[in-house]
Structure 1
Amino acid sequence: MNSFFNRDYSRRDFARISASSALGVSFSGWLPTLAHAAKQQGKPRACIVLWMTGGPAQTDTFDLKPNHQNGGPFKEISTSVPGIKISEHLPKLAKQMNDMAIIRSMNTTEGDHGRGTELMLTGYRPGNAAIQYPSLGSLVSKEIGQSDNELPNYVSLSTFQFAPNVNGAGFLGPRYAPLVVSGDSNDPQSRANLSIDNLRPANGVDPESMNKRIEVLKYLQSGFAAQTTSESAQSHSANYDRAIKMVQSQAKHAFKLEQEPAELRDRYGRNRFGQGCLLARRLVERGVAFVEVALSQVNNNPVAWDTHGDNFTRVRELSEVLDPAWSTLMDDLRERGLLDSTLIVWMGEFGRTPIINSNGGRDHFPGGWSTVLAGGPIKGGQVIGATSEDGMEIVDRPVTTKDLFATVCTALDIDPESENYSREGRPIRMIDEGGEAIEELVG
């Protein structure tokens, strides 16, 4: 309740309303806003990151250049917001633009997949070997996750990362590490393998026997933990505790996508990304604070958006997977009253060169590219920043990774200037110094 009073109306405001009501003064115009704000307080905040492995081409998705040779063959289409146009291959997302904000002026100095991934998922430039920075998922889940949730507060789906372990908890420790759910099939008839195996007791083991086994294991673990403080022992214990909690609860049913109507699953798309977005909705609905869904493979291409060759064929195929999954996710969240409490972040590690190479592809380009924020408190229907007519440089409002992270934190009601402590007791800012939230989106 404190956050409500601090951010929207003070206790003095409520006292004034009460007193005025007693004197017969009407504040009926305020009541819908107050009721909405109060209702929002009961909803857990959540964040879903749609991670585009390889770096998506901004000039073929959200920042087309139709009047320049760098633009390529894709056409622009109008969206639900007059004046904002995006790729013809994202028609369903075009209808969602009122709840979306495009940042067309992201820029970094990291054009390497691994370094760019580390920067965009931790907020810190790579190179400090002494500190393993936590991922955005670990940072957010630590701040807004529910400690009594039967599910982990950070779940990562179908990830392929150029930087190993970059989506981990870093110095925050295993308590804030993600539950990683992966799959190796795009079979349309399957559940895309987005399930957790081995959550049932072995055949012939009844619940009482299982509980006794768990008690014995906990006793042995506690004895071992008393003799060692190693990180590997702590990690093993934390992971096992989470697994046991899921085995003993109904939380495991969150992963049973077959419980969903077939028509809805079809709308998301019968592929790993589409079913991952559906699972993200199910997890958020059950109180999970942070879910990462990666679009990292289409037609057996494990690096998805890394389109150095045949860019336009591949981006069209990727867009045909992205468009129904993301737009259905927003519709599904909206219909369940969850979109206004769930922030969606669409991003990759960098963009692609506006100049088309000799292989019909686009190469790495960190100099000016696009990310998109949607849902939550984001003020949609906006475009932040702009690139030049040829797409080669930013001409308005450069946005850094620090700014993006500050905006995400502010949208989730997290103080961007708060600090965590390394294992050595060193205070480390959640957001690297110098980032500012984009006021137009969250102010």
Structure 2
Amino acid sequence: MKKRYWTLVVVLIVLSSCKTTEKDAITFVGELFAKNVIGLQGNILKQIEKPEYSWYISTSQSGEWKELPGIWTNEIVLLTSYVGNFIKCEITYIEPKSDKRIGVSVISSQAVEYKGNPNTDWFKDAGFGIMVHYLKEAIIPEGGAEEWNRTVDSFNVDRFARQVNEAGAGYVMFTLGQNSGYYCSPNKAFDRALGIGPGELCSKRDLPKDLINALNKYKIPLILYLPSNPPINNKNVSEKLRYAFQKDSATSQFNQPILENMIEEWSLRYGEGVKGWWFDGLYSWNDIRSTRMDMSLKHNISTHSLAAKSGNKKSIVTYNSGFGKIHGNTPYDDYTSGEKSTIDEYPLSRWAEDGVQWFLFTYLGEKWGGHGQQFITDSLVNKAVNIVNNKGVLCLEVVTNAKGEILPGHFDQIKAVGSNLRELR
């Protein structure tokens, strides 16, 4: 088994004359390269109530420290802008016995390095994968909880996994839910926020868990899809989460923590079974992006990203900027969101920008969720080969029925793509 973490630490005590023992020492865990997550560990942390964290960077261990705004958690995503800098975390807390305010500083023993983004290596090697919009509004727009649970129960994960493997797809992206308020997996945080019971909006079956198990037989990774905002087409959900009904708009400090709790619950449950996240709708025009990027707010792009990475520190995330030229949307992106209405762009290299894997995402049909075919198969194959040969990653949306059977025309096309890419390797 590979060792995941290694220690990088200098411990200093400030604001107090207390001495630190090896038993009480607080250390960093995680590798110091950009796009990676590092955190804190130490026995003393388990004994502290309500510690406060502040993070800083400096070009030297003894230099002038610059505080990083909006980072208040015990973990941090190392951004490419931190490269060449040392990292410091200050932990302050009230000592229970004396009521003294204690401060401890932890400083990295080396500066943050740039290594590209090793967390995306598997993604680049996969080259080509498929995406499924498995949504209530698309599959059974009529009916309620009973109909939704029956539909989710009907999805044959083993047959779906066999089809994916036969097609040669290197990964699957799958929706947890979108705008209806219905999800294909249980989530206690969501139920609690709405005051509803299990199975009313979240399915009783944990479909992603079953998908993970089925896909693991073929070593095919899973990426999960979610919007960056609460569901907009369910009036009751909008009211309970204090969010605009039928309108994309910025999240608030009331509903953003709920979203993060939902994401964290799923991430912790699935652990390393989920290799990535694709967050939709982080657009500039609807103020979602500007609000999420406001680091003066307690819940922001950092806390959102850490919630997604809570179960798997190596998982990759992206935030969709919408249609347009392929580019990174936030400093926290591990890969481009890549939403396109067709394939009209190709990578010049693996990286769209430092640490951000080049990725294009489009649909096989005449539109998202379309049953037709927008590509001539030979042309599609050539486009896919061009992308993968230049170290980009391609994702093609396919349509399935309720049972998870890929439409024959779409299945034939992804088999053609997969077959030709296999011949290149």
Tell me, yes or no, whether TM beats 0.5. Answer: no
Please state which structure has a larger fraction of its residues in helix: 1
Using the size of structure 2 for normalisation, the TM-score is 0.28
Please state which structure has a larger fraction of its residues in strand: 2
Using the size of structure 1 for normalisation, the TM-score is 0.27
